[in-house]
């Protein structure tokens, strides 16, 4: 049984597909949402699925204080794996060292291209013929950890950036749960 925590800061569509996917999974379960924005829509999604939310406050507590609370929540909920889904904060080396559980992120480009918050727009405005999604382990550098999975699509510029963005999110929603399940399976096998 793998206990999952999702960290998210905003809309939470990827949180929702993970929550929906694991809802009827007898082996693995989304136990916790960690969020750093008290008005984020993702919190409403967590409530709908009756998944506990823990708010962390980087402004009041600083990185060290916020991560201390995160670590306590991970321990209290016996979390085995973390999936970041639009979490707009870096995970420090300190937290990575202290928690031994894998932390995974999804990013809307073919890393190492277009790291950071504007990947979709940057890919669309580039000369590249393809972009896509990357699912990767988190390390202390932004969008730089070992890649687990990538999926590419052709950038069809005539259809406009909104359509391209929709296509990227569709890929995320299709593959994040599947890759998450594979990761949980390997955690279950090794425990
Ligand atoms: C996704 O595009 C994800 O790849 C990136 O942040 C976005 C979050 O979207 N890291 P949502 O909040 O899951 O809708």
Task: Select which of 107, 118, 136, 173 is catalytic.
Answer: 107
The Cβ-side half-sphere exposure at 110, using a 13 Å CA radius, reads 14
Full pLDDT tens readout for the chain, 191 residues: 999 999 999 999 999 999 999 999 999 999 999 999 999 999 999 999 999 999 999 999 999 999 999 999 999 999 999 999 999 999 999 999 999 999 999 999 999 999 999 999 999 999 999 999 999 999 999 999 999 999 999 999 999 999 999 999 999 999 999 999 999 999 999 98
| pLDDT on residue 146 | 98
Torsion of CA 152, 82, 185, 133, to 10 degrees: 0
Distance 26 CA to ligand 1 centre (A): 26
The C-alpha atoms of residue 32 and residue 36 are separated, in whole angstroms, by 13
Distance 74 CA to ligand 1 centre (A): 22
Supply the pLDDT for residue 191. Answer: 81
Burial 27-64 (b: 16+ CB within 10 A, else e): ebbbbbbbbbbeebebbebbeeeebebbebeeeeeeee
Q: Which residues pair with 13 in a beta bridge?
A: none
Residues 6+ apart with CB under 8 A from 24: none
Residues 31, 51 contacting (CB under 8 angstroms): yes
Distance of CA 14 from the midpoint of ligand 1 (Å): 6
State residue 123's pLDDT score: 98
- Other C-beta atoms closer than 10 Å to the C-beta of 125 total 13
Residues 156, 118 contacting (CB under 8 angstroms): no
> For ligand 1, what atom is nearest to the CA of residue 107?
4
């Amino acid at each position: 049984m793998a206990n999952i925590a999702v960290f998210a800061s905003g809309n939470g569509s990827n949180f929702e597909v993970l929550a929906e996917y694991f809802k009827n999974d007898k082996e693995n379960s989304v136990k916790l949402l960690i969020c750093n924005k008290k008005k984020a829509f993702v919190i409403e999604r967590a409530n709908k699925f009756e998944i506990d939310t823990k708010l962390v406050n980087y402004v009041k507590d600083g990185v060290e204080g916020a991560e201390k609370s995160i670590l306590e929540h991970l321990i209290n909920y016996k979390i085995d794996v973390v999936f970041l889904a639009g979490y707009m904060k870096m995970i420090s080396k300190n937290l990575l060292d202290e928690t031994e559980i894998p932390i995974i992120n999804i990013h809307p480009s073919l890393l190492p291209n277009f790291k950071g918050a504007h990947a979709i727009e940057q890919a669309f405005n580039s000369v590249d013929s393809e972009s896509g999604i990357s699912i990767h382990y988190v390390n202390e550098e932004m969008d730089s950890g070992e890649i687990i999975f990538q999926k590419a699509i052709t950038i069809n510029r005539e259809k406009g950036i909104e359509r391209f963005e929709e296509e990227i999110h569709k890929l995320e929603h299709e593959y994040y749960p599947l890759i998450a399940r594979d990761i949980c399976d390997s955690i279950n096998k090794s425990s």
